[in-house]
Amino acid sequence: MTTALIHERLQSQLAFHTEIDKLKRVIRRNSLIDGSRRENDAEHSWHLAMMAMTLAEHAPPETDISRVVAMLLVHDIVEVDAGDTFIYDPVAVEGQAALERAAADRIFGLLPEDQGARLRGLWDEFEERRTPEARFARALDRLAPIIANHHNEGGTWPLYKVTARQVMEKVRLIEEGSPTLGEYAARLVAGSVAQGHLAP
Amino acid sequence: MTTALIHERLQSQLAFHTEIDKLKRVIRRNSLIDGSRRENDAEHSWHLAMMAMTLAEHAPPETDISRVVAMLLVHDIVEVDAGDTFIYDPVAVEGQAALERAAADRIFGLLPEDQGARLRGLWDEFEERRTPEARFARALDRLAPIIANHHNEGGTWPLYKVTARQVMEKVRLIEEGSPTLGEYAARLVAGSVAQGHLAP
């Protein structure tokens, strides 16, 4: 590679780096585990990547964990443009897909073409949920807010009048990625119902 | 593995997961790139992991980037106990090492032993800077605040009376990990001096 090309690529990579800093200002519905404030997308993505590293043994055998980590690091970047969607709001979820695809075109498009295509591919894989890696990544993304809500007297559940029946639909997505984690999540949900923090 | 052992390990893994959530409340000196607020360790770690993925071609050939990513994800976890150290404060830096080792013992010790040892190994590798992976990870950790300060009229540099001579010592650490990124950082430093945002 010529020096000029190296520098041109570096400029694109650093433009991407500056752009994705905005993910630190995209605020999710759920709180930190101590309830002190709401969580942002960047720190959430870090936490999920750490979960992938430490919960790897609960993924199906042969799962490529470094791809799961990479997928989780990029999975919310589109929200720089499209904003966070609350998964229990069906109207928001419907309109969101087109917004997110446009965001992926723009933001991954800041990178040199080969790299943009690779990261876009990871995001598409996460969204399509066809591989064991994507299903495991998605399971962690669904498990994390259940843990946070369980620690926060129900957190977003009572706030947005979410019921255990609705949460159990998400638990089934966790089971698809990891039966062990799905079973654990179902126990947390039952515990929250028993404690009166989640309506049946 | 028996079901009982799987559940015992899962309990330890989730205790670790809950504990490291506190990294989201450890506040660094430098700001987000838009200057709106100071950055926390968790979102900083996410951003560095993304840099590793996108700047990989500027690392020495054969560098194992997935290990760099893993190292960057864990590199600040000890600060849950030890707090953030400003790299231009020599007194703080000196006392910090023992505190951080004790923190590593405690926090990585929450995990099942094999996993705790693996993550502790990644942290030790980062600290010792003997491998190309550790030197590249360290280079990114030093580059990120230079970029943020360059975008923020000097950011922490004028605030803490840091000079270009001091920053150039950090740039040499960047060069050790990646000559291309070191050269880029030196240009940012020169630019900040020219703009009057960094004292020579």
Considering its fold, how many domains does chain A have in total?
A: 1
Q: Which two tokens stand for residue A91?
A: 């109207």
Q: How far apart, in whole angstroms, are the C-alpha atoms of residue B150 and residue B159? A: 13
Residue A158 within any structural domain of the chain: yes
Q: Chain A partners of B17 at a C-beta cutoff of 8 Å?
A: 47, 50-51, 54, 147
Query: Which pLDDT score is estimated for A184?
Result: 97
Model confidence band, residue A107 (pLDDT cutoffs 50, 70, 90): very high
- Please name the amino acid found at residue A38: R
Q: Judge whether A200 lies within some domain.
A: no
Residues with Cβ within 8 Å of A155's Cβ and at least 6 positions away in sequence, in order, are: A30, A31, A35, A145, A148, A149
Q: What is the CATH number of the domain that holds A69?
A: 1.10.3210.10
Residue A23's domain comprises: 3-194
Residues 6+ apart with CB under 8 A from A50: B17, B20, B73, B74
**Residue B199 lies inside a defined structural domain of this protein:** no
The confidence score (pLDDT) of residue A92 equals: 74
CA nearest neighbour of B55 among B200, B153, B184? B184
What pTM, to 2 d.p., does this model score?
0.96
> Which residues of A are less than 8 Å from B13 in CB distance?
54-55
Which chain B residues touch A13 with a CB distance below 8 Å? 54-55
Contact B34 A21 (CB under 8 A): yes
Q: What number is the average pLDDT over the span B125-131?
A: 97
A vs B: CB pairs below 8 A: 122
Q: Is residue A151 part of a domain?
A: yes
Q: Could you tell me whether strands A38-40 and B27-31 are parallel, antiparallel, or unpaired per DSSP bridges?
A: unpaired
The pLDDT of residue B90 is 74
Mean pLDDT score of chain B, rounded to an integer? 95
Q: Is position A189 within any domain?
A: yes
pLDDT by residue (tens digit) across A38-91?
999 999 999 999 999 999 999 999 999 999 999 999 999 999 999 987 777 777
Amino acid at B152: N
Task: Say whether residue B178 is in contact with chain A using an 8 A CB cutoff.
Answer: no
Distance CA A42, CA A75 (A): 10
User: pLDDT tens digits, residue range A135-178?
Assistant: 999 999 999 999 999 999 999 999 899 999 999 999 999 999 99
Residue B21 has pLDDT above 80, yes or no: yes
